[in-house]
Structure 1
Amino acid sequence: MQIMTTASDTSPRVPSRNLPLPSRRGLNRAMNALAVGRSALVVLALLVGAGAGPGAVVFRWLIKTFTQLFSGHADYSAAGHTANPHVPGLGMWFVLFTPVLAGLIYGPLVYKFAPEARGHGVPEVMYAVARKGGRIAPQVAVVKSLASALCIGSGGSVGREGPIVQIGSALGSTFGRVVGAGEDRMRLLVACGAAGGIAATFNAPLAGVFFAMELILTSFAAEGFGMIVLSSVVASVIGRAAFGNEPFLVLPAFHTSSPGQLPLFAVLGVVAGAAGVAFSKILYLIEDACDWAWRWPEWARPAVGGLLLGGLLLLLPEMYGVGYPVLGDAVAGKYAIGFLLVLLVGKIAATSLTIGIGGSGGVFAPSLFMGAMLGSAFGQIAHHVFGASAGGIGSYALIGMGAVFAGAARAPITAVVIMFELTGEYSIIVSLMAAIVLATLTSRLLTGDTIYTLKLRRRGIDLSAPAPASPFTGITVGAVMEPVPAPLPANISLSQAADSLAVSRHGALPVTDTDGSFLGVASARAVAEVLAEGGREGEPVREVLTVPKPVHADSELATALEALVTADPSGLPVVDEAGTGLSGWITHQAVLAAAHSRPVQTV
């Protein structure tokens, strides 16, 4: 069978005998149609969901495994100051060293292979969608999984949402890159991956959909909604098969029955919105302090900073990892007001320190934790002041969870949906919506940024501003392409082709059939590789062709750049609309000349 390669394929060319050239051309056109067709997009959305689901399963297993390894418990946040049974001689002091040991592993891993895996992950995905056409390096999924699982398992006080969003998004981007999807399709596949990851890891398919659309795509287009729902459903089915049909956090049943409670929930919404803003500000203040204090190699920062985190865990072990058991106890009303406030401040400090020292993890779960502490304390105060008419304390804790997240991330739809999915209790929906909307408005009044966009703005990136103008805007491929080099006949021998390629300034030449139709490109490298094997000089050149992604003369130069970047240094042929004739040749030098002769325009 004849093996065809794209321009980005660097594997050895394997000659074949059986596939006729017309079928090859038809296959190439079919693959390009697959990359952009709507029916193909449905298949890709399903595949992304099918990849994000197992990714979430593996990620949660890694967290569980590393938590058991480093602490000796399934969740050390609920274990108090007990010793690690693996090292009983250290007593409770083992928590001083677990972040250091994990930092020695994931610090160099992130530094060497995927620096974007550091931190909470969602801003990097937002930036990739808004400014990079959805392109995310495929190694991010693997590095983020290991780094975040090591960080959380060793005591890092961060959550699972940021990592799983980045992991799923990297999978979606990789799928899009493999099939040659355009930027719009690539962005959508990234959002599908994010939704699938959230849906599977939290058993919250609706929250996954709205998280992806509200925060990643920032769009609610009908086609995008449908594709993201498909991915979320598939991933959720896989997640439920692995984890069961239970929400990620099991809470007691709650309801709000008295209309008189609504003003109290409204006040809680305002307070929680301010708390969400305070969390985002403190997070980056501590990160700035860590940046200012650190003077050594970045790969060592998580390990050295882990001593500080370990000291905090020694004082307050409830901060170890995500802390869902502690959150559940707070919602159930098991803590006094003073201790709730200590836990609230402690979580802000622990999460900020974990991110500041170079840890990897999300801020969604910490914001829920803070909301539960704040809401439970508020509910107890309301109960002392107004008595039984104030209602159950747990209702305040639950609504506080959604309101603090809304204040920090300014994603009210996602906050409402995920809280509703957690409880399944419709009676709280009015109070929940009121508190979350007021938290969002309070956040907007206090700051122009969210906890996600502030990270990007500190780097000089404003996602709300128009994208910087490309120097290639308005330039077509036809305006910069060069004349077509003299093509090689398909039946010319490899030895004869080598003579022509040796004097060609491009290092590659187009190959045409007897009727003049374009078949592919023969490169000097491919011919040399085959000739080096010996005894094959008389074989026709058609056996070593590559078929690059089609570039047309009327295409925007900016859209042709991705195909050119992945091509051989010799450039790409420009084909006519039928895809069988040659119009010209585009090279890297021609693109650079176009950029040099036309200054970048600012908007």
Structure 2
Amino acid sequence: MSLRHRLVRPANWLRRRLRASEAAFVVLAIGIGGAAGALSVVQGAIARTLQHWFFALPGTSRLSAQPGLSLGTLIVLPIGGAVLALFTLATRARRRAMVDTVEANALHGGRMGIADSFVISGQTILSNGFGASVGLEAAYAQLGGAVASLTGGLLNLRRPDLRNLVGAGAGAAIAAAFGAPLAGAFYAFEIVIGAYTPSAIAPIAAATLSAVLVSQTLGAHPYVVEAASGAATETHHYIAYAALGATCAGIGIVLMRSVASLEQGVRRLRIPDWARPAIGGALLVPIALISPQVLSAGHGALHNDLMAGTSIRFIAMIFICKCLASIVSLGFGFRGGLFFASLFLGTLAGTLFATALTAVAGFQIIDPHNAAIVGMAALGVAVIGGPMTMAMLVLEATHDFGLTGAAIAASLVSSTIVRELFGYSFSTWRLHLRGETIKSARDVGWVKTLTAGRMMRGETRETPTTTTIAEFRRRFPLGSASKVVLIDGKTHYAGIVRTPDAYGEALDPAACVASVAVNTDAALKPDMDIKQVMTAFDASGADELAVLAADRTVLGVLSETYVRRRYAEELEKAQRELFGER
């Protein structure tokens, strides 16, 4: 027996076990979680090592916690931009766009490329390691999801199982980074899977716990938000925290739009791709001279500002500078995300909000420390999404259920306003700018695969428009065909004739059949997905429409009845998968 056959038989047995047994799937998720946790530790260690090398940091200190850096040291920023550009050029062999975890689960059934994921991770580590104002969370989730996708692909898992496994891998990576298994689990549900699926609860919980255990075993220092809550949270405080949530929603929308606007402006300036990160690094230098707190993700700065009594003027200055640094970093081509930056900015916004309320009222309404934590959650939700993700992060950081309730209230207000006025999180907003229409990781890939070209009926019985009604009646007796497609002299589509219409008593038998044609302008393109097809049927009022190539030659015919039946079937199938019917 060949080696291939020896490997295939155990793989087939394992695949059957995973499909039949939820316990076996949980065991697989534990392994994925451990691998994701280990990869997060490695990536974080590499980025911190680069920062210590390039910025000569003492001991185990963080870059954003430094009291000040010289101009000579900050020259690392434009150099890092140039290195990132070289790395990007060296890995630009792929013609297609690289897929992240959210896009993979929304459009591709959880399928991710491992090579692309390593490129994304490398770009993010270089950006963060050279001090750009971006976080590593995107890289953590990318490799965690990629390992899960690769494993699930090798085992040929079903689409819903693969999506759940990718969510488990990404959530486990975030859990390991923050030392927060609950936050990691809800990150998987809200950000990567896009729904709370009963079939995913056990494997995702097991994966996040496994990741945290592995990271702690490896001696990693997670990004725990060490914050003690202040005064007790009372019922009337919720009104103030709701207003803070609304404020953070506005800040988040402005921040995300500013990144996109700067990125588009840089492209309009026709700056070469290789020069953009270097220029961005140079623009970061004067901002970092004001305070190094704007560099990297901001872990050290967040800890210092929460634990130390920092002046309000300094906090306001850091808030503005951190916003500018994040916008410049992402707008000029550094790779990374706004996950931790939004948490850092949220603490600053919460502190400023509480101080402003005190100044207006003449007495303290809400505790500034509590407001900082609630602001962290509210701005995190505005930018990243996931109200329960941020709420669990607050709970695991403070162990204060009252404050967690306030964070949930502010997060829900923030989330509602962002959805209503903006409609996207930062990750889906960038996909929108690329031409995608997804607003979450909810599985819509099946919608995009059901195209008019795949659903159409190939035979069309095409007839020239010059055919007389008498000839048409001879060729198509009543009952032989319900509809006939017409083509002109250049074989281009010219409409559809409903066969009974050609048998009207008032018609001249010598007239051309084109006189009774309908839907001469209404037609479908082969790449239209099923929702676009149904919209076209609604707009035209037709029962059947032709599918046309770019040159208006007829490819096939599609009926509304068939389209709506297929949509109902696929929707029912997706619902069964959502609720875990194995």
Residue number in structure 2 paired with 1:553: none
Distance in structure 2 (CA, Å) of the matches to 1:100 and 1:117: 27
CA spacing shift, 1:243–1:278, aligned 2, 3 Å: farther
Selected match of 2:53 from 62, 69, 78: 69
Alpha-carbon deviations, 1:553-600, whole Å to 9, x = none? xxxxxxxxxxxxxxxxxxxxxxxxxxxxxxxxxxxxxxxxxxx96689
User: Is residue 138–residue 170 contact of structure 1 (8 Å, CA) maintained in 2?
Assistant: yes
CA spacing shift, 1:260–1:404, aligned 2, 3 Å: same
Residue number in structure 2 paired with 1:41: 25
CA spacing shift, 1:455–1:117, aligned 2, 3 Å: farther
Secondary structure, in 3 states, of the residue corresponding to 2:426? coil
User: What are the equivalent positions in structure 2 for 1:183-198 lying under 5 Å apart?
Assistant: 183-198=159-174
Are residue 269 (structure 1) and residue 245 (structure 2) matched?
yes
User: Is residue 116–residue 124 contact of structure 1 (8 Å, CA) maintained in 2?
Assistant: no
CA spacing shift, 1:118–1:247, aligned 2, 3 Å: farther
User: What are the equivalent positions in structure 2 for 1:318-467 lying under 5 Å apart?
Assistant: 318-332=293-307, 334-386=309-361, 389-464=364-439, 466-467=447-448
User: Is residue 121–residue 142 contact of structure 2 (8 Å, CA) maintained in 1?
Assistant: no
CA spacing shift, 1:383–1:237, aligned 2, 3 Å: same
CA spacing shift, 1:2–1:445, aligned 2, 3 Å: closer
Distance in structure 2 (CA, Å) of the matches to 1:322 and 1:34: 42
Selected match of 1:133 from 109, 122, 126: 109
User: Is residue 273–residue 403 contact of structure 1 (8 Å, CA) maintained in 2?
Assistant: yes
User: What are the equivalent positions in structure 2 for 1:105-504 lying under 5 Å apart?
Assistant: 105-113=83-91, 124-243=100-219, 248-296=224-272, 298-332=273-307, 334-386=309-361, 389-464=364-439, 466-470=447-451, 473=454
Residue number in structure 1 paired with 2:577: none
Selected match of 2:68 from 63, 81, 104: 81
Query: Which amino acid is the alignment partner of residue 13 of structure 2?
Result: A
CA spacing shift, 1:254–1:401, aligned 2, 3 Å: same
CA spacing shift, 1:246–1:43, aligned 2, 3 Å: closer
Alpha-carbon deviations, 1:300-350, whole Å to 9, x = none? 432343222233323442211122232233334633333322222222221
Query: Which amino acid is the alignment partner of residue 93 of structure 1?
Result: G
CA spacing shift, 1:28–1:332, aligned 2, 3 Å: closer
Residue number in structure 2 paired with 1:3: 3
Alpha-carbon deviations, 1:123-181, whole Å to 9, x = none? 83211111112111112443333322221121111112222111211111111122222
CA spacing shift, 1:140–1:26, aligned 2, 3 Å: closer
User: Is residue 63–residue 292 contact of structure 2 (8 Å, CA) maintained in 1?
Assistant: yes
What displacement does 1:365 show? Answer: 0.6
Query: Which amino acid is the alignment partner of residue 317 of structure 1?
Result: P
Query: Which amino acid is the alignment partner of residue 286 of structure 1?
Result: L
Alignment length (residue pairs): 455
Distance in structure 2 (CA, Å) of the matches to 1:431 and 1:32: 45
User: Is residue 331–residue 393 contact of structure 1 (8 Å, CA) maintained in 2?
Assistant: no
Distance in structure 2 (CA, Å) of the matches to 1:321 and 1:411: 23
User: Is residue 141–residue 171 contact of structure 1 (8 Å, CA) maintained in 2?
Assistant: no
User: Is residue 346–residue 380 contact of structure 2 (8 Å, CA) maintained in 1?
Assistant: yes
Secondary structure, in 3 states, of the residue corresponding to 1:226? helix
Residue number in structure 1 paired with 2:44: 60
User: Is residue 30–residue 207 contact of structure 2 (8 Å, CA) maintained in 1?
Assistant: yes
Secondary structure, in 3 states, of the residue corresponding to 1:180? coil
What displacement does 1:103 show? Answer: 2.7
User: Is residue 240–residue 366 contact of structure 2 (8 Å, CA) maintained in 1?
Assistant: no
Residue number in structure 2 paired with 1:590: none
Query: Which amino acid is the alignment partner of residue 79 of structure 2?
Result: L
CA spacing shift, 1:43–1:367, aligned 2, 3 Å: same
Query: Which amino acid is the alignment partner of residue 3 of structure 1?
Result: L
CA spacing shift, 1:347–1:26, aligned 2, 3 Å: closer
What displacement does 1:108 show? Answer: 2.9
Alignment TM-score, normalising by the size of structure 2? 0.71
CA spacing shift, 1:160–1:599, aligned 2, 3 Å: farther
Distance in structure 1 (CA, Å) of the matches to 2:274 and 2:68: 30
Query: Which amino acid is the alignment partner of residue 63 of structure 2?
Result: Y
Distance in structure 2 (CA, Å) of the matches to 1:345 and 1:461: 31
Secondary structure, in 3 states, of the residue corresponding to 1:251? coil
Distance in structure 2 (CA, Å) of the matches to 1:369 and 1:40: 39
Query: Which amino acid is the alignment partner of residue 200 of structure 1?
Result: A
Selected match of 2:72 from 93, 97, 105: 93
Residue number in structure 2 paired with 1:531: none
Secondary structure, in 3 states, of the residue corresponding to 2:100? helix
Secondary structure, in 3 states, of the residue corresponding to 1:346? helix
Unaligned runs of 5+ in 2: 457-553, 568-582
Distance in structure 2 (CA, Å) of the matches to 1:375 and 1:320: 21
Query: Which amino acid is the alignment partner of residue 85 of structure 2?
Result: G
Distance in structure 2 (CA, Å) of the matches to 1:365 and 1:385: 30
CA spacing shift, 1:447–1:260, aligned 2, 3 Å: same
Distance in structure 2 (CA, Å) of the matches to 1:390 and 1:262: 11
What displacement does 1:429 show? Answer: 2.4
Are residue 50 (structure 1) and residue 5 (structure 2) matched?
no
Distance in structure 2 (CA, Å) of the matches to 1:224 and 1:177: 18
User: Is residue 203–residue 236 contact of structure 1 (8 Å, CA) maintained in 2?
Assistant: yes
What displacement does 1:220 show? Answer: 1.1
CA spacing shift, 1:230–1:258, aligned 2, 3 Å: closer
CA spacing shift, 1:115–1:160, aligned 2, 3 Å: farther
What displacement does 1:70 show? Answer: 1.2
User: Is residue 65–residue 293 contact of structure 2 (8 Å, CA) maintained in 1?
Assistant: yes
Distance in structure 2 (CA, Å) of the matches to 1:113 and 1:599: 43
Distance in structure 2 (CA, Å) of the matches to 1:77 and 1:600: 60
